[in-house]
Amino acid sequence: MSFRLFFGRLKVSASLGALAIAVSGLAISESADAETLRIAEQYGLVYLPLHVIRDQGLLEKKAEAAGIDLDVEWVQLSGGANVNSALLSDSIDIASAGVGPLLTAWDRTRGSLDVKAFAALGEFPNDLVTNNPDVETLEDFGPGDKIAVPAVTVSVQSRLLQMAVAKAFGDDQYDRLDDLTVSLPHPDATAALISGGTEISAHFSNIPYQYQELEDPDVHRVLSSYDIVGGPITPTLIYARSSFFEQHPKVYGLFLEALEEADQFIGEHPTESAKIYRSVTDSKLEVATLESIITDPKVRYTPVPRNTYPLAEFLHRVGAIHHQPADWLDYFVDDASRWEGS
């Protein structure tokens, strides 16, 4: 089954311009009769639970059963920096982004907006891949290489790269490869890497893009996020400002119910879930291809976070965040203590 499907290449400037328009022009519609819930999503199979919720109207159905008139708005963004900007400017209510962006927002809003995570999207490997045949390890990257990440410095891919670099060269050189990173949405980075005709020579990817990239004979894996932390890791979290939990406790509860239902649906119906992904995202990947990724033993959809704290410890150790969390529950809401997370 071939993953080698080319995305239409977009100009970086056009992509960033579209994102700026999307964030600045978000409609924040409130009425006396209905609550509006604005949810940000990004690119990739990582966000499949949100796609299932959206496709099946789970939130609307649960709200109606609870006697709540709820309008749900889905906002497509790319990169944790854009997601955080939208959340902090009150342009969205619920953010979905990497552990890195969440920790940045948590660190900077303590005592004010108090951003906290309340669920994970699952456990997924993020692979650093390259089309440069001379690059086998981090030591091999040179000035001529450009590594695409969703958001320079802030994204979970950027932070994992820093963590890997610190392990290879020492904490004092954790940002050694930062100058080689460029911000680019996953679809654009995939097209650039496979085409080989751009400055992009590497991509710290996510699912399904890394599977597609590795099907190309000119692309190979340098390392995986699972290598960096020594096992499965939750790369992406769902989070919000404290005001959301305080002002909309019923809607918050309904969202958690919908998320758990979506996770269960994905586990029981991978083929249908693959079809939903194609429908919601207009993906051209075949259903069988998507299903093979969804059912990969390294992929698990669950709201329980895993191995996020090692990244938090690292970011504090190198000064990327100022506050040191005592454990993973410090940057999660209180009721997450019911889980055996990490």
Pair 110, 248 in one domain = yes
User: Considering 229, 252, 279, which residue would you say is the last residue of a domain?
Assistant: 229
Domain span at 299: 12-124+234-338
Pair 131, 174 in one domain = yes
- Mean pLDDT, all residues of the chain: 90
Pair 223, 240 in one domain = no
Which residues of the chain fall below pLDDT 70? 1-33
Please give the biggest Cα pair distance in the chain.
61
- Give the pLDDT score at 210: 95
Alpha carbons 310 and 49: distance in angstroms, whole number: 25
Closest-CA residue to 184 (of 162, 208, 206, 211): 206
In a domain, 142, yes or no: yes
Q: Are 225 and 126 in contact (CB under 8 A)?
A: yes
Pair 249, 313 in one domain = yes
Structure tokens given for 269: 């119906």
CATH number for 249: 3.40.190.10
Alpha carbons 92 and 238: distance in angstroms, whole number: 12
- Give the pLDDT score at 257: 97
Which residues fall within 8 angstroms of residue 285, CB to CB, at 6 or more apart? Answer: 3, 5, 208, 212, 278
Alpha carbons 333 and 337: distance in angstroms, whole number: 8
Pair 32, 166 in one domain = no
- Give the pLDDT score at 34: 76
Residue 13 exposed, middle or buried by CB count within 10 Å (0-12, 13-18, 19+) = exposed
In a domain, 178, yes or no: yes
In a domain, 189, yes or no: yes
Q: What dihedral do alpha carbons 175, 193, 275, 271 form, nearest 10°?
A: -80
Residue 332, strand partner residues: 117
Pair 69, 134 in one domain = no
In a domain, 116, yes or no: yes
User: Considering 173, 199, 229, which residue would you say is the last residue of a domain?
Assistant: 229
Residue 128, strand partner residues: 204, 223
In a domain, 3, yes or no: no
Which residues fall within 8 angstroms of residue 287, CB to CB, at 6 or more apart? Answer: 271, 274, 275, 278
Pair 204, 245 in one domain = no
Pair 264, 323 in one domain = yes
Pair 184, 117 in one domain = no
Pair 259, 328 in one domain = yes
Alpha carbons 127 and 211: distance in angstroms, whole number: 9
In a domain, 4, yes or no: no
CA-to-CA separations, 111 to 15, 41, 46, 72, 259, in angstroms, rounded = 34, 26, 31, 29, 28
In a domain, 6, yes or no: no
Q: Are 151 and 158 in contact (CB under 8 A)?
A: yes
